[in-house]
Amino acid sequence: MVVTDSTVVFISGVGKGIGSGIAKLYLARPNHTVIGSVRDLSTPSVAELKASPTAPGSRLILVHIESTSSTDPARAVEAINAQGIEHIDIAIANAGAMPSTVPIEEVDTKDMLENYHINAIGPLLLFQAILPLLKKGKNPKWASVSTTAGSIGLVDALAAWILPAYGGAKAALNWLTAGIASSQKEWLTTIALHPGLVQTGPGNWVAQKVGLGDKAPVTVEDSAAFIVKLLDGLTKEDNGKFYNATDLTEVPW
């Protein structure tokens, strides 16, 4: 079956957290094909996602992508094509790594490279793999799930230097996002977004580190809803911008 009239959404990292929350929201909309990438298809959280309510004409397709793999994205596209998918309308590069707890005085090469591979190179490889499908989309959009910790302009204000490997890798993702926005501006709307400080493992750790309590202030459900609302309202004028999804304000690069 060839999918032509369905809105096709690709979300990386739907195995848990924000990615799973976003996938559930799109599945609840009629005529949406949601393609989600996961590292492990056998986890309880993936089983929960598979059992999520699905609106008429909508369906979930799961593909395997390990963020450190240079070949998984291309193989995932082969699997997508085999499902009759000929376009992608919205792509959300959400998969990422847990922030490292190693301070800037001690962070080593291994930690830096691991974070760069997962948080910057992984999304780039995904973009390259799905580019032909995005070019066939209806008013296609690309969103990189970044963080204010990756904003060079906010390093001092947020004391983001406590996350050198993670923040530096997300800053690299921001540069790549800006590069995509500039080079593909004739046909693609591209943004980076901060999802809020979310109640996930990484978010709760950061909240504890900066004295905000045991849990981050934003629930997964609220963050997912903020992101979907932001993407719903995007126009070509938003291309190349970095948004805080929680309040729709711009974040300095």
pLDDT digits (tens, 9 = 90+) for 176-191: 999 999 999 999 999 9
Quick check: is 170 catalytic? yes
Query: Nearest 5°: phi and psi at 148?
Result: -65, -20
pLDDT band at 98 (very low <50, low <70, confident <90, very high): confident
pTM of the model: 0.95
Task: From the candidates 16, 170, 241, 243, give the one annotated as an active-site residue.
Answer: 170
Asked whether 107 and 100 are in contact (CB, 8 A), the reply is: yes
pLDDT band at 203 (very low <50, low <70, confident <90, very high): confident
pLDDT at 71 over 60: yes
pLDDT band at 206 (very low <50, low <70, confident <90, very high): confident
For the chain, the first-to-last Cα distance in angstroms comes to: 42
Report d(CA 124, CA 141) in Å as an integer: 15
pLDDT at 3 over 70: no
pLDDT at 105 over 90: yes
Helix axis angle, 17-27 relative to 220-232, nearest 10°?
60
pLDDT band at 1 (very low <50, low <70, confident <90, very high): low
Report d(CA 204, CA 9) in Å as an integer: 28
Q: Point out the least confidently predicted range of 120-124, 167-171, 206-210, 231-235.
A: 206-210
- What residue ranges do the domains of the chain occupy? 7-195+221-250
Report d(CA 151, CA 173) in Å as an integer: 10
Residue 3 burial (10 A CB sphere; 0-12, 13-18, 19+): middle
Q: Which residue intervals of the chain are DSSP H helices?
A: 17-27, 44-50, 72-82, 109-116, 122-134, 164-183, 201-209, 220-232
CATH class given for the domain over 7-195+221-250: alpha beta
pLDDT digits (tens, 9 = 90+) for 106-162: 999 999 999 999 999 999 999 999 999 999 999 999 999 999 999 999 999 988 888
Task: From the candidates 141, 166, 241, 243, give the one annotated as an active-site residue.
Answer: 166
